[in-house]
Structure 1
Amino acid sequence: MSERQGEVVIIPFLRDDTRGAVTVTLDCVDDPAAIGKHPSAHGFPCCTAAVDYPGKGYRSLFGWVQLVRSTDNSSAGAAFDMDPFYLFEDAPAPYAFFGINPTLFDAPSRAERVPLTWTAHSYLAWTPMDEVGRRVLPLAGFSWGFDIDSGRRITLHEVQALTTVDWDAHLPYLGASYPGWAFDTWQPRQ
């Protein structure tokens, strides 16, 4: 059984004095096969974050950095870990998705429904191409996730916009995890 369905949140951002927005849609999975998941994913969350930005070509290259804190991760929920797209989890880049106005898509699930708390911090960022080094400059971020209670019920967390404080708290971990990259503090401009 799942609670909460069909939440949509729009988060504005500014890059190069041009406005864009991220539209986050959080739903419960009602047809796992339709999104390429096993039937056990029924009722788990499905998050889609679409980028709307009028820049063209390289001016619309963005990436998604996603970190997850879960009671079944390496720290038993005490800290966030990187959440790379599983096909590229050994890639030496912090982006889970990267491209022209890339869409973040994630549908976390577990084969067994045992008590669990799972929280993602998802950040839209960009990397300047006219520099020698590789830098990640955050533009927008949001938190989302789910809980499984002792009755095996799944409850989705409300989507919430993240702040500079949230991003900056991840900087030591990001720098240690990707030493070939620089991670800027977040300078939001609206």
Structure 2
Amino acid sequence: MILPFTHDGEPGSVTVDLEQVDDPLTIGKHPATRGFPCCTSAVTYPGRGYRAMFGWVQFVRSTDNSSGGADFDMDPFILFEDAPSPYAFFGYRPTLFDAPSRAERRPMAWLAHSFLAHTPLDREQRYVMPLTGFSWGFDVDAAGDITVRPAAALTAADWDEHLPYLGTTHPAWEFDKWRAGAQP
């Protein structure tokens, strides 16, 4: 899947690749995680330097989370889960990489909302402006079989549903509504 976006008047895109992992060792996972999905989302953008600094905000709704799958939670990169940032990944044309798994294969539904966003450096308050987004996930049935949910484009309404939660969990940040093609 390829998702277009516009930033600073220039077109960019996100290429989303989902796969069901046959050899977990090749991605740094334990062999028992065979069959779980792996998502790699690469950014293509002609801007250079700080203009190409983006971040990935990812939410997960899972039937094994604290709400039993009723609500989305932040999905921070485990090494930085205590950092006060909404970004799971941030950098120069950053790649989102995620390979969720569970030690036990119990029935569950797992859905991610992944959004590419920009934080301008010239603002007094930390600010997140969404650019594009997609959903993806997997389901585990009673037999332990895993079905990968295909990637699907998200809309402004999907991002806006997360705004109250973002405001509560990251009060030092300001979150913009998603306006396709908007400039900071």
Shorter-chain TM range is: over 0.9
Partner Cα separation in structure 2 for residue 138 and residue 31 of structure 1: 34
Provide the residue aligned with 1:74 in structure 2: 66
3-state SS of 2:150 partner: coil
3-state SS of 1:68 partner: strand
Provide the residue aligned with 1:121 in structure 2: 113
- Greater than 4 Å deviation, 4+ residue runs: none
Matched, 1:160 2:152: yes
Q: Which residue, out of 86, 93, 108, partners 2:78?
A: 86
Q: Which residue, out of 181, 184, 188, partners 2:173?
A: 181
3-state SS of 1:159 partner: strand
3-state SS of 1:108 partner: coil
Provide the residue aligned with 2:92 in structure 1: 100
Partner Cα separation in structure 1 for residue 32 and residue 153 of structure 2: 29
CA deviation after TM superposition for structure 1 residue 146, in Å: 0.2
Letter in 2 for 1:98: F
CA deviation after TM superposition for structure 1 residue 61, in Å: 0.1
- Cα distance per residue 1:49-78 (max 9 Å; x no partner): 000001101010000000000000010000
Letter in 2 for 1:135: Y
Provide the residue aligned with 1:63 in structure 2: 55
Letter in 2 for 1:157: R
Alignment RMSD (CA, Å): 0.8
CA deviation after TM superposition for structure 1 residue 189, in Å: 2.4
Letter in 1 for 2:127: R
3-state SS of 1:152 partner: coil
3-state SS of 2:70 partner: coil
Partner Cα separation in structure 2 for residue 125 and residue 26 of structure 1: 20
Provide the residue aligned with 1:136 in structure 2: 128
- Cα distance per residue 1:6-63 (max 9 Å; x no partner): xxx0000000110000000000111111111011110000000000001101010000
TM-score norm. by structure 2 comes to: 0.98
TM-score norm. by structure 1 comes to: 0.95
3-state SS of 1:128 partner: coil
